[in-house]
A and B are shown apart, each in its own frame.
Chain A
Amino acid sequence: MGKNHLGEFEEIVMLTVAILHGEAYGVAIIEEMETRLNRSVSIGSLQVVLKRLEEKGYLTSELGQATKVRGGKRKRFFTVTNLGKEMLQTSKEQRNSLWNAVPEFSLKAISL
């Protein structure tokens, strides 16, 4: 598991895909991230990450039907695979265990 560590951006993208649940394609993912996280994302950086996650087997994709909008181009919808879900879970647990290990006072310092 160690080497298949999830990057921060990768994790956010996967979570967004999971949120959109079947409706996750390029622009939708970007908009979701922009509204929820107030973070601007370029198509370029997103596509690179999507491609990488798919190569790792955390995401899978299929092409949808062509519509009149977006120049008649088909959308590619992404879903999180079981391996991807496992990864997200592990990632969350690791984080929780870290959070639990943090002493009280240092968090207070942060919240100031």
Chain B
Amino acid sequence: MNDKSNHTRPPWAFLAFLRWFCDPRLVEDIEGDLVERFEIRTLKKGHKTATRLFIKDVFQLFRPGIIRSFSGSQSLNQFGMLQNNIKVARRQLMRNKMYSSIKIGGFAIGIAVCLLIALFIRDELSYDRHIPDHENLYLSIKEYNNVPEYGDVRAAWFSAPFAQALREDFPEVVQTARTVNGENFGAGANSIREEGNPRNNYEEGWIFADPEIIDMFRMPMIYGDSKEALKNPLSIVLTQSVSEKLFPGENPVGKTVYASDLDERPFSIGGVVADPPKNSTLQFRVLVTLSGKEFWEGEQTFWGAQNYLVFTRIREDANLANLNSRLKEIGTKYILPLEKENGNPNAEEEVDNINFFLKPLTDIHLHAADIYIPLAKSDIEYVYIFGAIALFILGLACINFINLSTAKSANRAKEVGLRKTIGSYKSNLINQFLTESIIYSLISFALAVLLAGLILPYFNALAGKSIVLPWDTFWFIPILLVTSILIGVIAGVYPAFYLSSFRPAAVLKGTLSIGAKGSKLRNVLVVVQFTASIILIIGTFVVYQQMSFILNRQTGFDKDQVVMLEGTNQMGDQLESFKNELLNIPSVENVAIGDYLPVTGTLRNGNTWWNDGKTKEDPGFPGQNWRVDYSYIETLGMNIIEGRNFSKELRTDSAAMIINQAMARELGIADNPIGKRITNRSSNRFVYTVIGVVEDFNYDLMTEPVRPLAMRLGRSSSITSVKVNAENISATMAEIEELWMKMAPNQPFMYKFMDQQFAQMYASVQQVRDILTAFAILAVIIACLGLFGLSVFMVEQRNKEISVRLVLGAKSSQIVGMLSFNFMKPILLALLLAIPVAWYMMKEWLSDFEYQIDLGAGVFVFAGLAAIAIAMITISFQSVQAAFSNPVKGLRNE
């Protein structure tokens, strides 16, 4: 029998499974039945079949009615305990309203900030991922190795025939689409008007694009066909918002429009596409076809001018690394012969230094900070910085929670002692305190979501986004709940262990002086909070100083009271008389026509420069080549430090140049520049004579040094700068507008003030400043909330002592001093820690700027005093109240 029993035993794993899931009230009987049946079957049908049928039976038992219920007798008990825990938590919360609101308020602020930043990061990471099969979309990048002074330079500029070469020579490339967004080609801002309507509308965001662009980006079409819309020469595609503005409620396909008032070039509307979403790297409002377009004769086959962005769709199964490594062939096949033909002695070497690669479109927004791409993009660094700040602020809020929980432990000690005496386990108490902190966290989350909703518009304005709370997604609420529980556990785990480890005997005997025990840790945490806050205060202060330093710095030109009138090229022949009429206005001092201005959003034109006759020996150096008019230098208040300005009387001035000091230095002619002859490659037949040197002025960001620049006489007429000298600028503007309307009644009157445009160049720095300020304020608020809570606690603790002191004749000021001193120690320590850290961090930040303020002691003294003052004020709410309170009240309860 014993021998046999080994064979007749049912498979234990399934039996164990049955015991696990089966209702305990049924398990014995069912198991018996199963085994009995198994034994019978073993005899009748053999072991194998019996085992198989046994397993089948077990699985058939796995059904409602047999499976144990989740609310069995044990879990019922736990639920009751949970209910009790929640009740106790609610009572604690209600009894200590002030502490609770500090804990919850601090938490809510911290979480709201985290929430906003999480949404911000999500938005940043979402760029271009809305495009169907974006995985196969790439932007072509070119890399020049060993560029003097720069090292490796990466840029996305390409010549017109590059796209065709890509498509024809590399079978992996399925589709290419080029865009041109250079303002000197007519992209950017233009006026547009419907045929038969003289009134012009001004639209920004014009780009030239190949017809394939619509299909490649899978742009949703509102009207028209995606393949046909840009197919014909002179066709144009509007975004929905432009179409709605010009042709409300109509299908404009087939209509004729004129751009920039050029009647000889009628554009036909080929389609309307949906506006590109905000998280799209390619932004535009009007697409003009490149089909049949030639910017100048032979331009489409010319390899020497780099003006195109080339977007590429490659085959799904293509090997990108392999493709990238083969792209170099384009250089040897097309560029090398051209360079040799031009007589470039270093052709081989130069072409060998050019590499090409394709970069995933989805990487452009965040992972292309080092590549020159004329598209608005961000940097992954911001994602990291923001993420760090979010965690940081949340950490500060958690510290408050821990500090106040452990500080208030005195009140809970008796409760803990009693619970333990009655028979509570430590784990029960930990559960209880964790439940409490999770409840706090849940309330904080609810408040935080409200708060985030309220400050979202301001945050959007600050960060330049249009983020909304994603209520409509399935994951938002679950994620909120899960994180709130998680945060509750993180913040509550230390207090829970701390509170639950009290010895019941000691507590009930009253020998344990609770609250004092944890004060060391609390002080450390206060130091941490204030160190962080002081660093942020110093940082904000330095950024403010640096900003005002830059904006008020001598820039080498006078940007105040200069009005930039835009779209003046549409005056055509009338422009010169418009200029003269402007000069007749008494408060107009000077007028200059020219698109090359030392502020952002105006024209630039980079060339390579040599001393005359050195083009074959020197590699040359890059420098700007600006076309200006006679009154340009005067109007912008630039200083000629050597030589003279352009003169109308001298006809030879058409081949004259005024260069800046940087250019003179680069040419090596700084000692005696006047009369020197210089040339730029693209027109090496032309040699210019230097007639003057203008003092360096900043035409680029002031994080950069002033780079070489040359000016010659020439016409570029989109912008007319007017120097005004008036008390009442708006009256002058009205006069100018009146003149404008008289001379160009159908053109919209548009202008910008140069100083505002200049300030806009520093918008990103301003953004950093504003964000830092916001975070500094938040951090200080949270830290002060915590400090306030602690000071309340301390005054409560020492209430009796204070009363006795007052009775014995202590002055109120002595009491305030005594109480404040206690808190000053951690804050002074924080100051000591924060200053070197802040000094180092700000030194790093400032090193990005070419012109920077000195990090003097003043900043640190100021920040230190500010921190101490803020802390003192926070504490004084309580300490002053305590010092002036009636001592009888504190002593009566004996």
Contact = CB atoms under 8 A, between A and B. Distances in A.
Interface of A: 25-27, 30, 42-45, 47-48, 51-52, 63, 69-71, 73-76
Contacts of A47: 26, 30, 33, 61, 65-66
Contact of A48 (B32, B37, B56, B65): B65
A48 B31 CA distance: 14
A70 B61 CA distance: 18
Contacts of B490: none
B250 interface: no
A40 to B, nearest CB: 10
Contacts of A45: 60
B35 A71 contact: yes
A56 B26 CA distance: 17
Given A42-B60, A44-B61, A52-B65, A70 B39 contact: yes
Which interface residue of B33, B34, B61 has the most chain A CB atoms within 10 A? B33
Interface in B514-539: none
A71 B10 CA distance: 10
Interface in B1-43: 26, 28-37, 39-40
A69 B37 CA distance: 11
B26 A51 contact: yes
A69 B36 CA distance: 7
Nearest to A42: B60
Contacts of A52: 65
A67 B318 CA distance: 73
A77 to B, nearest CB: 10
A44 B66 CA distance: 8
Contacts of A74: 28-29, 32
Contacts of A75: 29, 32
A10 B61 CA distance: 17
A44 B36 contact: no
B57 interface: yes
B63 interface: yes
15 contacts: A26-B33, A27-B40, A30-B37, A42-B56, A44-B57, A47-B30, A48-B63, A48-B64, A52-B65, A70-B36, A73-B31, A73-B32, A73-B35, A74-B28, A76-B29
A76 B29 CA distance: 6
Contact of B37 (A43, A51, A76): A43
Contact of B34 (A43, A63, A69): A43
B61 A27 contact: no
B54 to A, nearest CB: 10
A25 B60 CA distance: 18
B25 to A, nearest CB: 9
Which interface residue of A42, A47, A51, A76 has the most chain B CB atoms within 10 A? A47
B29 A73 contact: yes
A44 B32 contact: no
Interface of B: 26, 28-37, 39-40, 56-57, 60-66
Contacts of A71: 31-32, 35
A26 B66 CA distance: 14
A73 B10 CA distance: 14
Contacts of A73: 28-29, 31-32, 35
Nearest to A44: B60
A43 B57 contact: yes
A47 B64 CA distance: 11
A26 B32 contact: yes
Nearest to A52: B65
A60 to B, nearest CB: 14
B28 A27 contact: no
Contact of B32 (A42, A51, A70): A70
Contacts of A44: 57, 60-63, 66
A15 B812 CA distance: 94
B58 to A, nearest CB: 8
Contacts of A48: 63-66
A107 B693 CA distance: 121
Contacts of A43: 30, 33-34, 37, 57, 60-61
Contact of B33 (A25, A51, A63): A25
Contacts of A26: 29-30, 32-33, 36
A45 B32 CA distance: 16
Contacts of A69: 36, 39
Contacts of B39: 69-70
A27 B37 contact: yes
B111 to A, nearest CB: 48
The 7 closest A-B pairs by CB, nearest first: A73-B32, A26-B33, A44-B60, A76-B29, A70-B36, A44-B61, A71-B35
Contact of A27 (B36, B64, B65, B66): B36
Contacts of B35: 70-71, 73
Contacts of A70: 32-33, 35-36, 39
A93 to B, nearest CB: 30
Contacts of B65: 47-48, 51-52
A13 to B, nearest CB: 14
A25 to B, nearest CB: 7
A26 B64 CA distance: 18
A14 B716 CA distance: 103
A27 B29 CA distance: 10
A86 B57 CA distance: 33
A50 to B, nearest CB: 9
Contacts of B33: 25-27, 30, 43, 47, 70
Contacts of B63: 44, 48
A73 B66 CA distance: 18
Which interface residue of A51, A63, A73, A76 has the most chain B CB atoms within 10 A? A73
B15 to A, nearest CB: 9
A69 B1 CA distance: 12
A101 B57 CA distance: 42
B668 to A, nearest CB: 97
Nearest to B31: A73
Contact of B57 (A25, A42, A51, A76): A42
Contacts of B28: 63, 73-74, 76
A27 B34 CA distance: 8
Contacts of A63: 28-29
Contacts of A25: 29, 33
A11 B528 CA distance: 75
A17 to B, nearest CB: 14
Nearest to A49: B65
Contacts of A51: 26, 65-66
A33 to B, nearest CB: 13
Contacts of B32: 26, 70-71, 73-75
Contacts of B29: 25-26, 63, 73-76
Which interface residue of A69, A70, A74 has the most chain B CB atoms within 10 A? A70
A45 B61 CA distance: 7
Nearest to B9: A71
B16 to A, nearest CB: 13
A30 B53 CA distance: 14
A51 B56 CA distance: 20
A42 B60 CA distance: 7
B18 to A, nearest CB: 10
Which interface residue of A30, A43, A63, A74 has the most chain B CB atoms within 10 A? A43
A110 B37 CA distance: 38
Contacts of A76: 28-29
B4 to A, nearest CB: 13
Given A45-B60, A48-B65, 12 more contacts: A26-B36, A44-B57, A44-B66, A47-B30, A69-B39, A70-B35, A71-B35, A73-B31, A73-B32, A74-B28, A74-B32, A76-B29
